[in-house]
Structure 1
Amino acid sequence: MTSVRRLAYSTLFPVTTELELSAELVAFLENGGRAILFGEDGTEYATGIIRPDRIRRETADAWRAVTDRARQIAGPAVLALDADISAVHRLHRLTAALPTLSESQAMAEDAFTDRIEAMARDARQLGINLLLSPTADVVAKDNPWLAGRTLGDDIADVSRLVAAYVRGLKRAGIGSTLKHFPGNPVITGLPASQDARVPLKMQELQPYLAPFTAGIDAGADAVFMSPAIFDAVTPPQSGSISPDLIRLLRQELEFSGLVITCDLDHRSTLGSRSLVDIAVEALVAGADLLLVSPAAVPHLDRLARAIERAVEDGRLPLARLQAASAAIDRVSS
């Protein structure tokens, strides 16, 4: 296998909804893959409630066995999951409890940070080193995707909680991820299955950048791009493949960490195009780590080969691929 293809594998971020390494994921790690998201099923995502049978089956020992095996195969790796206050906390009872939203909003900042740190230290003991949290979105109105799944509806208060959450993770030695940049105050549908749009101009989006700025200033390790189509850029396109929005993140917000796409096979991102084309486009746009759903796991080799071909034919500069892989190194080490 070429060194370029191994680099290509390193930029892929497959989701597994089961606490196991399938034969496909083992092959992925052996071929250069270095990131896995331990996700939840659709019902768990929608309700924020982890299935009782999963809770019984997924013990602390089971988590450590899987994360240890992943690192035995891949070496340093990004092993991630969601730990949201108003949505899914994937580890559920296996960590110190997260505060409820009402408790979070009423807490002194130091007390909130302490609660987040306690949860994160427990996650770290299970082999997890990156949380896809906190949510920095603030919902203004009409949001079928994120309504009830954020840290509040006041920009200043959400900014305070986001920064405190990041500080708690940092104290625990675990990475944090701000999602879903550049914010989705209004959205027309569900990005996974619809052509969901954020129908706002850039100047209307600007106030909603504040929680992301607060999280970056607090030391966030990663930023997770929105899958929605943004009318604020020309032509309108998904945040995950938008060079303009990634440039906004890099230049205006001065973020130098890991940029993660949302699921590239979400309808709002994929549209009518092929997943291999979207993967290359996301890297060219400036993304570092490409999230793909469980349905795409059988096609990881095809995606890596497509990225390799894009380097060979000049569509994707080798330096861009190397920079993406280096950004992943900084989080996985």
Structure 2
Amino acid sequence: MADDLELRRLAARVVMGAFEGLELPAWTADLLADGLGSLCLFGSNVESPEQLAALTAAIRAVAPDVLLATDEEGGDVTRLHMRTGNPHPGNAALGSADDVDLTSAVATAIGAELRAAGIDLDLAPVVDVNSNPHNPVIGVRSFGADAALVARHSAAYVSGLQAAGVAACVKHWPGHGDTALDSHLAMPTVDAPLEVLRARELVPFAAAVEAGTLAVMTSHVLLPAIDPDAPATLSPAVVRLLREDLGFDGLLVSDALDMKGASGGRGEPAAAVLAVAAGCDLLCLGADKELGVHEAVIGALVAAVQDGTLPEARLREAAGRVSALSARLRAGAGEPVPHPDPEVDTKAARRGVRVTGSFPPVQGAVVLRFVTGTNIAVGEVPWGLPADADALRGGAQVDVAETDAVEPLLPRAEGAPLVALVREPHRRPWVERALHALAAARPDLVVVELGWPGPEPLPGAAVVHSYGASLSNAAAVAAVLAEGVAG
């Protein structure tokens, strides 16, 4: 058996750590010097492109071979643009446009931006088939509800991102789309037969593996047809399905272990041991962690090897995969960064917009923005129509909360067009009720849905679906509203 120092370095190698703040803390630098394999940067670590580039350079000065990762999915989930809003459209808009060349080009643009910032592992794309419209955490992060569509765009995204020299990490294996719970808060179950899983959930992952994805991220989802006892991250059976049936031999990354679906009732150190034993190679700890969390996880892995709970060979294999991906990315670090079409985000977002009904141009509208919050994966990111949108010239944007009555707002829109901005009202009964009340009073109501479409049509003279709330999505909506669209 390896000595204590070597075991600690092996354990540190399989940890994807995190810290809070815009500069590298001394304790994080010490962990990097001791062999920490990866760091994931979150919104709290990013203030500007210049600051981020300086931070990643400081990290690499301590540990040149560290894997620097982030969640830059495009669309609603962004880390580089949490303060300003994301310029890139997300997966649902790309799936709506259904042009694989556009998807690949957007992914390359994201990859080029990450590469310039010093990031080399993107925890994207989401390749879940969002078959449940009430899904609280996937939604517009998915390319769509059809497995074949999701598969072709997953492959295109992987190819485009990796063409920029950034490793893709497709998620959330083996599928988080048919869930009604958020694995940040609970452990969801996909209670579908294996033949359904093979025909639906696994299809995009197979396409991504075929396209050469360098990494895959597990989900904290229970799939009784494969393993009735353990969520995917902690399940050897689920990992075997990926390795043996799909033939994936790259890096397997866990979703964040601080999520309840993984650590609920057992804690992060115990979840870490189970995840590596199951076949995960790199353990994402989650955002803004302190030294003690890292030490507890590393210590638990060392202790598990020493007491025989975790085979040393499995820990070595995991650490070896981390090092192999790092070496591969370092070997390509000198290759030129591609120069994507600067208009690709605008083109893709506009192509993804869908309109039902008809309406005249709505310049000077009263725009009611229904504020419903987001899930943990998205966080607090600016959203809404751009300040210079024609619909807001001479009009007003009014935020509406659950405690607000909509009837008193109607006089403000007298003589002016009325637009409602919503995100997934089918999951929020109070918004649905408000929209029906508005449509009854104002049959010319225009509803702009910036989230995942619900199973029932929304009320109003026209409904605009943008399939995301990024800056490019919002600009595409503003253009449609300015033009007016005939149904």
TM-score under structure 1 length normalisation: 0.88
Give 1:67's aligned residue: 56
- Structure 1: how far apart are the matches of 2:99 and 2:183? 35
- Kept in 2, the 8 Å contact 1:18–1:38? The answer is no
Shift of 1:160: 1.0
CA, structure 1 residues 72+314, in 2 after alignment: closer, same or farther (shift >3 Å)? same
Shift of 1:299: 2.0
Give 1:83's aligned residue: 72
- Structure 2: how far apart are the matches of 1:290 and 1:297? 15
Give 1:49's aligned residue: none
Give 2:195's aligned residue: 203
- Structure 1: how far apart are the matches of 2:102 and 2:85? 17
Corresponding residue to 1:118 among 89, 109, 112: 109
- Structure 1: how far apart are the matches of 2:299 and 2:103? 45
- Kept in 1, the 8 Å contact 2:94–2:102? The answer is no
Give 2:313's aligned residue: 319
Per-residue CA deviation, residues 53-77 of structure 1 (Å, 9 max, x unaligned), is: x8xx722221111111111112211
Which structure shows the bigger proportion of residues in helix conformation? 1
**Which runs of structure 2 are paired with 1:178-327 in the superposition (5 Å)?**
178-207=170-199, 208-293=201-286, 294-295=288-289, 297-327=291-321
Per-residue CA deviation, residues 190-210 of structure 1 (Å, 9 max, x unaligned), is: 211223222223222112111
| Residues 1:6 and 2:12 aligned together | no
Moved more, 233-242 or 210-219: 233-242
Give 1:138's aligned residue: 129
Shift of 1:39: 2.0
- Structure 1: how far apart are the matches of 2:283 and 2:93? 34
Tell me which structure has the larger Cα radius of gyration: 2
- Structure 1: how far apart are the matches of 2:248 and 2:26? 36
CA, structure 1 residues 88+297, in 2 after alignment: closer, same or farther (shift >3 Å)? farther
Shift of 1:107: 5.3
Shift of 1:95: 12
Shift of 1:21: 2.0
- Kept in 2, the 8 Å contact 1:283–1:320? The answer is yes
**Which runs of structure 2 are paired with 1:89-108 in the superposition (5 Å)?**
89-92=78-81, 97-100=87-90, 101-103=92-94, 105-106=96-97, 108=99
- Kept in 2, the 8 Å contact 1:17–1:40? The answer is no
Secondary structure at 1:199 match in 2: coil
- Kept in 2, the 8 Å contact 1:96–1:119? The answer is no
Corresponding residue to 1:164 among 156, 159, 182: 156
Corresponding residue to 1:37 among 37, 40, 53: 40
Shift of 1:135: 0.5
Query: What is the identity, as a one-letter code, of the residue corresponding to 2:303?
Result: R
- Kept in 1, the 8 Å contact 2:95–2:149? The answer is no
Query: What is the identity, as a one-letter code, of the residue corresponding to 2:112?
Result: R
- Structure 1: how far apart are the matches of 2:140 and 2:219? 17
- Structure 2: how far apart are the matches of 1:173 and 1:108? 22
- Structure 2: how far apart are the matches of 1:231 and 1:279? 22
- Structure 1: how far apart are the matches of 2:89 and 2:168? 17
Give 2:323's aligned residue: 329
Per-residue CA deviation, residues 67-104 of structure 1 (Å, 9 max, x unaligned), is: 11111112211111112234312223999943454355
Moved more, 187-196 or 107-116: 107-116
Query: What is the identity, as a one-letter code, of the residue corresponding to 2:109?
Result: A
CA, structure 1 residues 17+182, in 2 after alignment: closer, same or farther (shift >3 Å)? farther
Secondary structure at 1:2 match in 2: helix
Q: How many residues align?
A: 319
Secondary structure at 1:230 match in 2: coil
Query: What is the identity, as a one-letter code, of the residue corresponding to 1:106?
Result: A
Alignment RMSD (CA, Å): 2.3
Query: What is the identity, as a one-letter code, of the residue corresponding to 2:214?
Result: D
CA, structure 1 residues 232+135, in 2 after alignment: closer, same or farther (shift >3 Å)? same
Give 2:427's aligned residue: none
Secondary structure at 1:112 match in 2: helix
- Structure 2: how far apart are the matches of 1:107 and 1:234? 34
- Structure 1: how far apart are the matches of 2:43 and 2:190? 25
CA, structure 1 residues 197+171, in 2 after alignment: closer, same or farther (shift >3 Å)? same
- Structure 2: how far apart are the matches of 1:187 and 1:236? 17
Secondary structure at 2:313 match in 1: helix
Query: What is the identity, as a one-letter code, of the residue corresponding to 1:325?
Result: A
Query: What is the identity, as a one-letter code, of the residue corresponding to 1:175?
Result: A
Query: What is the identity, as a one-letter code, of the residue corresponding to 1:329?
Result: S
Consecutive unaligned residues in structure 2, runs of 5 or more: 328-487
Shift of 1:211: 0.6
Secondary structure at 2:323 match in 1: helix
Shift of 1:274: 3.1
Query: What is the identity, as a one-letter code, of the residue corresponding to 1:98?
Result: H
- Structure 2: how far apart are the matches of 1:309 and 1:180? 29
- Kept in 1, the 8 Å contact 2:194–2:225? The answer is yes
